[in-house]
A and B are shown apart, each in its own frame.
Chain A
Amino acid sequence: MRFPARPVVATAAILSTLALAACSTGTEADEADGALVLYSGRSEDLVQPLIDQFEAASGIDVEVRYAGTTELAALLQEEGDATPADVFFSQDAGALGAVARAGLLAELPEGVTSAVEPGLTSTDGTWVGVTGRARVFVVDSQQVGVDEAPSTIHDLTDPSWAGQVGIAPTNASFQSFVTALRVLEGEDAAQRWLEDMIANDVQLYSNNTAILEAAQAGEIQVGLINHYYWYRLEAELGAEGMRAQLVFPAAGDPGSIVNVTGAGILAGAQDDPDALAFVEYLVSEDGQQYFVDATYEYPLVPGIAAPEGLPAVAELTNPDLDLSDLDTLAETTALLAEVGLL
């Protein structure tokens, strides 16, 4: 057989060069405009409409790089001062804390950080909380009756749940929960709980979605997830399509914590008014209302109502827990690695 050698190579070369040139000129042009560069660990489909709103309202161009929150945190650490990013919008407080500790975040003006309820934002003013997300149990309603559902994470080490509980140890929200457990009950108790869970044949998933899908499919009876995943699936399938149901842990249980998403300005963009304008917009009334309506998350600015059907955020927040203590994630990952979950 005879391949038409040169035409194929030439065509490939021309095509790919054109495609690359098209892509790269676009990027360069945008950078020349001085568009705001946002690293978003939050999904495009949830955040982009809000960004469109912001662009329309402010006239500022925003260029967004979407990836996993913790991948972006690793990326920011690798990039250091060379980062093109102006703002980091994170899915959890832990990643923001890690980036802040690396000295990569600028301090926010007092006016921004004070807009949010204290305890749901950073203590040193390097980042601001944007929304809250409650840790909940998801149960397979066909296998688990309302009265049989667990009320505390300590129920889950009972042999009756052997092999029936799903967790996502690599998920940042789960790790925040483990951090809370360490802070509230001590290192030994946290380690013992994790080891008991492993002994009880806990099932490992890669993320909340997978756990929810597993509960929905009856693969597991209980899973530890964030509340809004359920609402989103319900929006897609309708209420009658939901085999998985949410159960909120008892107040004061370490399983009942509120994680926050948040945003920080990178050190290099300290004096960029556009960056500040974007972060301010996130904690403005418009921004907060968007999250309530579109993502079913808790607003963190006082005076904005939570999504319907959710317990008040105050009921869930643990009075003994200071969110700023949740940034000791390195110890948590070390613990998870030690017991063998990472």
Chain B
Amino acid sequence: MRGSPTIGGREGSAPSRRVGLAGLAAEPRIAPRPPWGRLILAGSAVAAAALAAIPLVYLVVRVAGAESGAVADALLRARTAELAINTVGLVLAVAAGCLVLGVGTAWLLARTDLQARRLWIVLAALPLAIPSYVAAFGWVSLTPLRGFWGAFVVLTLCNAPMVTLPTLAALRQADLAQEDVARTLGRSRSRAFLEATWPQVRPAALAGVLLTALYVLSDFGAVALMRFEAFTWAIHAAYTSSFDPTLAAVMAVVLAVMGVALVAAERTMRGRQARFGSMVAARPASAPVRLGRWRMPALAALLAVAGVSLGVPLGSLLRYLGRGSGEGIAVAPLDVAADALTTVGLALAGALVALLLALPIGILAARWPSRLAAGAESASYVGLALPGIVVGLSLVYFSLQAVPALYQSVWILAFAYGVLFLPKAVGAVRASIERVEPGLEDVARTLGEGVAGTWARVTARIAWPGIGAGVLLVALTAMKELPATLLLRPTSTDTLATSLWRLTDISAYAAAAPYALVLTVVAAVPALLLTRDAVTGSTRAEGLQ
């Protein structure tokens, strides 16, 4: 900056009083600097949201291309209403179930004097590793549970960790002094929790509930095995009896609308997201709640939940494994290993795609909240509400139109994972960056770092654990994905999930069991990594108190 122009002379310290805006005409007005960085960010966010909205665009094209009579017929028939009621009922029930189970578990693990908390946290997270279709298969083969309650139990147990983990993390960061104050003001323990602590953890818990609800909307495996007639069941039926794409598309649009409604509802209920200071002032650790005579019931409840959510699926897998394949299909360990590698590679690639798409949307939503940011964020959630087969077919359509050379390549499949599970990454990016105090970025700038350097040395470094958790979550979910994988995978490429499908399709359960088991074990790795946060405490400062 040596060559920058200088203003000679000293003006002295004579203060200029009451100089209005008009009084400064002599000084040329400074032209507003176009915020290039923010424009690029907004542009990328819009582009990412547009990519995420491909399935929706596809549906609109399909529905618009159909005769209006056919659309009206498909929409207005009594069956559509019946399926809608079934799906809404299931979504609400599972959301409520996960909320109660997740918040209850998180409270026990965060606030009480329970022993072996780490073990319980791990056990609470592990159901994430079990694909809902494997869990449903376990329940079908070991219990008489079917229909609504079957779907409810399986989906609730599989998805509860989506609520437990973020709630646990939020409970650890919550300011518990407020609860103490509420108690001194005459509230019972439970009322104090509801009035003082719950508002602080609500955003985290509701975000988990939203992901769960969207998942339930789009889940096919569990409802099919439980023979509960939800929307996805009917969409699959229409597609796989193939010859009525309009019916399928119309029903998928209804699902997408339900998804948007869920996102809107969560937005309203979330309220303002509290920003946590980067430097929570050192406060004395609040004494854990003594369980006393409730210790045994609490332990029994945790054990029962872990038992049914892990024991039933794994038990049935082990039973089939023990039964042996008889004269059925032999499973070569190398094949399983090869599939596992493919699965991991694809899931990681999908997670990276999701991260790339999520970064601009999440940063924009965290730093410059606006209608645009909210719109981009909402658009990113649509994919999760749609069944995998719809997303799969939409990407068949899209890739053949736009990038035919990449059709049936791993790149399109990885991209599909990215789109399908984008919300998990967007939520993680937004929440993590929201928690980085903007003042830290200012300080870094005054210490000589540019915008990019500040991002790399401060924002990204502080937000990374949260963002990394989101990436893990996407990878974890992508590993279990089946319908889109079947449609989009390169010819003769198998993942653990497709091999599992191939073998169960011909009832070779004994042969399928190793694949299911390996899938669960592989998926358990990211699930366990996700608990690191909860186990060690979410900031170093807190961990060392």
Contact = CB atoms under 8 A, between A and B. Distances in A.
A56 interface: no
A204 B393 contact: no
Contact of A43 (B409, B506, B510, B537): B506
B465 interface: yes
Given A3-B468, A20-B349, A63-B492, A236 B239 contact: no
B83 to A, nearest CB: 9
Interface residues of A, number: 74
A170 interface: yes
B342 A78 contact: no
Nearest to B248: A74
Contacts of A205: 227
Nearest to A8: B468
Contacts of A77: 242, 245
A332 B82 CA distance: 21
Contact of B241 (A23, A237, A329, A340): A329
Contacts of A233: 507
Interface stretch (A11-19, A181-189, A277-285, A301-309): A11-19
A47 B507 CA distance: 15
Most chain-A Cβ atoms within 10 A of its Cβ — which of B227, B397, B504? B227
B414 interface: yes
B328 interface: yes
A43 B78 CA distance: 36
Contacts of A110: none
Nearest to A338: B77
Nearest to B347: A16
Between A13, A19, A235, A329, the greatest number of chain B beta carbons within 10 A of the residue's beta carbon is seen for A19
Nearest to B489: A65
A24 B406 CA distance: 9
Contacts of B263: none
Interface in A38-65: 43-46, 63-65
Contact of A16 (B244, B352, B396, B504): B352
Does more than half of chain A's interface fall in helix, strand or loop, or is it mixed?
A: helix
A23 B492 CA distance: 10
B349 A17 contact: yes
Given A5-B461, A65-B491, A204-B229, A337 B79 contact: yes
Interface string A171-197: 010010000000000000000000000
A224 interface: no
Contacts of B348: 12, 15-16, 19
Contacts of A219: 144
Contact of A84 (B241, B328, B408): B408
Given A44-B502, A342-B237, A330 B244 contact: yes
B327 A236 contact: yes
B224 interface: yes
Interface of B is mostly: helix
A127 to B, nearest CB: 15
Contact of B540 (A1, A78, A82): A1
B356 to A, nearest CB: 11
Contacts of B288: none
A172 B349 contact: no
B344 interface: yes
A23 B506 contact: no
B460 interface: yes
B238 A98 contact: no
Contacts of A95: 242
B465 A3 contact: yes
B506 A1 contact: no
Contact of A3 (B243, B396, B464, B503): B464
Contacts of A175: 241
A71 B397 contact: no
A332 B239 CA distance: 14
Nearest to A334: B244
A73 B396 CA distance: 13
Interface in A89-117: 95, 98
B491 A1 contact: no
A71 B239 contact: yes
B240 A23 contact: no
B237 A23 contact: no
B400 interface: yes
A203 interface: yes
B507 A232 contact: yes
A141 interface: no
A1 B543 contact: yes
B337 to A, nearest CB: 13
B227 A337 contact: no
Interface of A: 1-3, 5, 8, 12-13, 15-20, 22-24, 26-27, 30, 37, 43-46, 63-68, 70-71, 73-75, 77-80, 82, 84, 95, 98, 169-170, 172, 175, 203-207, 209-210, 212-213, 219, 229, 232-233, 235-238, 329-330, 332-334, 336-338, 340, 342
